Amino acid sequence: MLRAIVTACLILAPVAAAQTPDRDTAPTIVHPKFRLLDREGQPVLSSRGPVSGMRSCGACHDTGFIADHNYHASVGADETAEPGSAPGWRPWDLSPGLYGRWAPLLYRYLTPDGDELMDMGTADWVSAFGYLHVGGGPAVRSPAGTPLTNLDPDLPDRDTMFLNEDTGLSASWDWSSSGVVELNCFLCHISSPDNEARIDALRSGAFEWASTATLARSGLVAREGSKWRWIDNAFKEDGTPESDRIRIVPPSSLHCGQCHGLVHFEEEPVIPRYGSDRVWSTETMGGIFSPQLPSRSGMNLAGKSELNSPWDVHAERLLECSDCHFAPNDPSAAAKISASGELVSFDGRRLSIDEFLTTPDHNFAKGRSAQGRVADHLDGTMRRCEDCHSTRSSHEWLPYKGRHMDRLLCEACHVPVVRAPARRATDWTVLNPEGGPRVEYRGVRGDVDDPAALVDGFRPVLLPRRRPLDGGSERLAPHNLISIWFWIHGDPPRPVRLFDLRRAFLEGGGYHPDILRALDADSDGRLDGPELKLDTPEKVDAVRKRLESLGLKDLRIEAVIRPFSLHHGITAGKWAVRECSWCHSRRFGMTQPFLLASAHSSGEIPKPVRDTNAIVSGEVRIGEGGVYYWPVTMEEGFYVLGHDRWSPIDLAGIIIVSAAFAGALVHGGIRVFLSRSRRSGS
């Protein structure tokens, strides 16, 4: 049966591929009818329970294999270790992934077992960060492999406890009531997943309904309170959905964009929304994956009418994320990942298409970004520029081609500027009235939410990327740097919980009187922009006292710089860097100071995070208008002619040449003078 289906797919696939991709009617693949089953394998129409993708899709696909070979599901849960035990980890980091690795921008942390104060248990994590997680992994099983629903609720650990936001104390979570979040196949494989409904279900704690909520747009289910009701007449008699209720499509960039950032293929002008972690790569890197021209966007871009290069040239050329981040056992993908050693550049042994459709490896090929550390063993498996482009022959014009390509990532010249704003600084030492941090953006003059604010973009900073373990050299890549300030307390150190911060700052719908007294310079009862920062020791002390009054001890402010390497927003042709002086000069050069923040808390100078492959070895200095990062590339082995100089040698050279010149002048002058004296004397 499966072979027959696969054969039909193979026959019809070229027809679909030849069509002009239409985002409203995404490429169609032939997929057999299927019944929606619940976790017990019963049709949802009869059980009325939440749908299980693992069961429904598992009728044909090996969903167990898919869930087990899936770092989007495990997000580091399979790499957990003792807190802070791996190089570069913070003392409260439990893994290298979203589950366990502290993301200071998201702030809340998965609390190590045994901590007196709990910030997040696994249930909190699912509720708070589940919007970035496809389900499965830690949302189904503990890192030890025990199903969450089988855990003994009397054993207090992060999998069984959650933070009671009324009391600030941990309490036992009832997994049997919330259910778990199974791997959500529908999120990436149907044409119109309802991600908002899914997130609502997660945030409300109705975890097992998350997959069902994803089908909300299909008309198969309707919301009833916190639960969902299956609509009988949307199903056929055999229990399968009416035709076209669920259309299975190949995963597209739009699917990835649900969690990763703004992907825009519509006619409407691009208008990114900021201040939300929902558009993560847009927020952190200004990334917009769209074929649209910036000149047609809805943003007030500087020089807008001339910006006629698409937001991302790969989007314009109709590439999808999966073209580069492919399933490693996809027989239609060049099996770069399956090359077995240096003697083989291509492994011809590939799965048949039906084998692949049964067991598609969801450990997608990935790169080596500065920010992502999960599944490091897959680093560098993705399709890089040189795997598709004839970089050597297309850069004949480039002097010292080998040298440039050996020391620069393609992105260094092909992401010369980021046209959209991106996060510059996040200050968790203070809270805004909504209970969030003070945030700064780069690339925009004014408020990022103000449509009239001029968006002038920014030039990323070039940082060396650490040499990969499998060879190669350190290469310069464009980065955005985000500085984050936050409070730490106790020993072993932990971030001050968001719960405690909010208690310290906010009271009765406004700021706490002690906070207002210290920070409200104009006594208007509000903390407006410039007031919301701890720029004097007195303000720091006032907040510290508030936190101490909550029982927190040994409070101090820490600050970090987190680099985000830029690999999207690719531009080409005249929009890419061709001017030597872009790098080979000091005036325009690559080591221009990079503003980290316009304000800084308590004078604490941010230090680079250690869990990154970017080498952030420049200097951080307080200068006019804020804190700056001054890149230094020479000490990292990058000697850039016209840019890097040995100052002592130049100083000695100037002295020697000046001395020679002065010596000649003085010696010659005396000679002439004495010669004339002698002549006049004689």
Partner 1 sequence: MRTKLYMYTAYERIWHWLQAAIMVALIVTGFEIHAPDSFRLSGFEAAVATHKTLGFLLMANAFLGMLYHLFSGEIRQYFSSSMDFLPLAIRQATYYLYGIFRGSPHPFVKRPDRKHNPLQRSVYVIILNVLLPLQVVTGLLLWGAQRWPDAVGALGGLANIAAVHTAGAWAFTAFLIMHVYLITTGPTPLSNLRAMITGWEEHEIDRGTVRKAGSTWTPGIMDVGSGRRVTADEAGKGLST
From 280, 283, 286, select the one nearest 259 (Cα to Cα).
280
| Contact of 324 with 365, CB cutoff 8 Å | yes
Start-to-end Cα distance in the chain: 122
CB 654, min distance to partner 1, A: 8
| Contact of 70 with 377, CB cutoff 8 Å | no
296/467 with CB nearer partner 1? 467
Report the 10 Å Cβ neighbour count for 402: 9
CB 667, min distance to partner 1, A: 7
- Give how far the C-alpha of residue 113 lies from the chain's centroid of Cα atoms, to the nearest Å: 27
308/677 with CB nearer partner 1? 677
276/473 with CB nearer partner 1? 473
CB 589, min distance to partner 1, A: 8
CB 573, min distance to partner 1, A: 19
- Which residues of this protein are in contact with partner 1, per CB under 8 A? 399-403, 406, 580-581, 584-587, 634, 637, 639, 641-642, 644-646, 649-650, 652-654, 656-657, 659-661, 663-664, 667-668, 670-671, 674-675, 678
> Dihedral through CA 70, CA 74, CA 76, CA 79, nearest 10?
-90
Structure tokens at 80: 């957990």
CB 663, min distance to partner 1, A: 8
305/647 with CB nearer partner 1? 647
CB 580, min distance to partner 1, A: 5
CB 658, min distance to partner 1, A: 9
Return the bridge partners of 442, or none: 422
59/641 with CB nearer partner 1? 641
Residue 250's alpha-carbon distances to 215, 292, 529, in angstroms, are: 17, 22, 46
Structure tokens at 605: 């100078």
451/663 with CB nearer partner 1? 663
CB 678, min distance to partner 1, A: 6
> Dihedral through CA 336, CA 340, CA 341, CA 344, nearest 10?
-70
CB 670, min distance to partner 1, A: 6
Q: How many residues does the chain have?
A: 682
554/579 with CB nearer partner 1? 579
Q: If DSSP codes are grouped into helix, strand and coil, which group holds residue 353?
A: helix
CA distance 516 to 505: 9
Give the DSSP letter of residue 630.
E
351/398 with CB nearer partner 1? 398
CB 680, min distance to partner 1, A: 13
344/674 with CB nearer partner 1? 674
CB 676, min distance to partner 1, A: 11
The H-assigned helical ranges of 173-222 are: 175-178, 186-189, 195-203, 210-214
CA distance 352 to 349: 9
From 651, 669, 650, 671, select the one nearest 661 (Cα to Cα).
669
- Give how far the C-alpha of residue 209 lies from the chain's centroid of Cα atoms, to the nearest Å: 27
**Residue type at 420?**
A
CB 617, min distance to partner 1, A: 14
From 146, 113, 108, select the one nearest 127 (Cα to Cα).
108
From 281, 369, 267, 287, select the one nearest 571 (Cα to Cα).
287
| Contact of 479 with 564, CB cutoff 8 Å | yes
CB 661, min distance to partner 1, A: 5
513/668 with CB nearer partner 1? 668
Report the 10 Å Cβ neighbour count for 24: 8
405/572 with CB nearer partner 1? 405
169/664 with CB nearer partner 1? 664
CA distance 80 to 93: 9
Query: Which DSSP string corresponds to 58-77?
Result: GGTS-HHHHHHS-HHHHTTG
Structure tokens at 655: 């002295």
433/668 with CB nearer partner 1? 668
Q: If DSSP codes are grouped into helix, strand and coil, which group holds residue 648?
A: helix
